[in-house]
Amino acid sequence: MQAPKNIMVKVADASEATQEIKTISLASSDGAPLPEYTPGAHIDVVIGGGETRSYSLMPIARKTEYKLGVLLEANSTGGSKFMHGLNIGDQISIEPPKNDFPLHESASFSLLFAGGIGITPIMAMAAELQNTGAKFALHYAGRSRASLAFVDDLQARINDKLHMHYDDEASALDISGVLGAAPGQTHIYVCGPKGMIEAVQKQAVDCGYPKEQIHFELFATLSAQTGDTEFEIELSSSGKILSVGVGQTIIEVLEAAGEDPIYDCSRGDCGICQTGVISGEIDHRDVVLSAAEKSAGDVMQICVSRSKGGKLVLDL
For the chain, the structural domain boundaries read 7-94, 109-218, 231-314
SS3 for 143? coil
Q: Is 80 exceeded by the pLDDT of residue 86? A: yes
Residue 164 C-beta-side C-alpha neighbours within 13 Å: 18
What CATH fold (topology level) applies to the domain 7-94? Elongation Factor Tu (Ef-tu); domain 3 (2.40.30)
Q: Which residues are within 8 A (CB) of 279 and not within 5 positions of it... i.e. 6 or more apart?
A: 311, 312, 313
What CATH fold (topology level) applies to the domain 109-218? Rossmann fold (3.40.50)
Nearest of 221, 136, 250 to residue 186 by alpha carbon: 136
Q: Mean pLDDT of all residues in the chain?
A: 89
Q: Is 90 exceeded by the pLDDT of residue 200? A: yes
Kind plus residue range of the DSSP H or E element containing 140: strand 136-142
Dihedral of the CA atoms 215, 283, 280, 250 (nearest 10)? 80
Kindly report, residue by residue over 151-169, the tens digit of the pLDDT: 999 999 999 999 999 888 7
pLDDT band at 77 (very low <50, low <70, confident <90, very high): low
Radius of gyration in angstroms for the set of CA atoms belonging to the chain, rounded to a whole number: 20
- Residue 240: per-residue pLDDT: 92
Residue 194 C-beta-side C-alpha neighbours within 13 Å: 14
Q: Is 80 exceeded by the pLDDT of residue 3? A: no
What mean pLDDT is predicted for residues 212-231? Answer: 79
**By percentage, how much of the chain surpasses pLDDT 90?**
62
Domain at 231-314, CATH class? alpha beta
- Residue 1: per-residue pLDDT: 38
What mean pLDDT is predicted for residues 100-126? Answer: 93
What mean pLDDT is predicted for residues 114-138? Answer: 95
CATH fold match for the domains 7-94 and 231-314: no
Cβ(222)–Cβ(75) under 8 Å?
no
- Residue 223: per-residue pLDDT: 61
pTM for the predicted model, two decimal places: 0.80
